[in-house]
């Protein structure tokens, strides 16, 4: 719906899509939770950071890629 009938991505549309993806991936949970997770993990901080990166970064990125590759309109298509 953003692109209408053109195939060219305008600067305004690119800025809008970029800010929406940024808002999806970076929320308050990604700002506060890693610090708390690191404090609770103690000496096991490396495995805790790896798990957080997988669940907080890799899974949402894979969801974006899956929707973009299939060119669906959402998760219910």
- The number of beta carbons lying within 10 Å of the beta carbon of residue 56 is 18
Domain assignments of the chain as residue spans, ordered by start: 11-70
DSSP string, 7-34: -PPPHHHHHHHHHHHHHHH--HHHHHHH
Cβ-Cβ contacts under 8 Å for 75 (sequence gap 6 or more): 63, 67
pTM of the shown model: 0.58
Cβ-Cβ contacts under 8 Å for 77 (sequence gap 6 or more): 70
User: What is the C-alpha to C-alpha distance for residues 32 and 62, in angstroms, rounded to an integer?
Assistant: 23
**pLDDT tens column, 12-28:** 988 998 898 888 777 77
**pLDDT tens column, 37-62:** 888 898 998 898 888 888 878 888 88
């Amino acid at each position: 719906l953003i692109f209408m009938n053109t195939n060219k991505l305008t600067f305004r549309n690119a800025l809008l899509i970029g800010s929406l993806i940024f808002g999806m991936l970076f929320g308050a949970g990604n700002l506060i939770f890693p610090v708390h997770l690191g404090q609770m993990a103690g000496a096991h901080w490396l495995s805790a950071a790896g798990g957080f990166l997988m669940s907080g970064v890799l899974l949402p990125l894979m969801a974006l890629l899956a929707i973009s590759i299939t060119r669906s309109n959402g998760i219910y298509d």
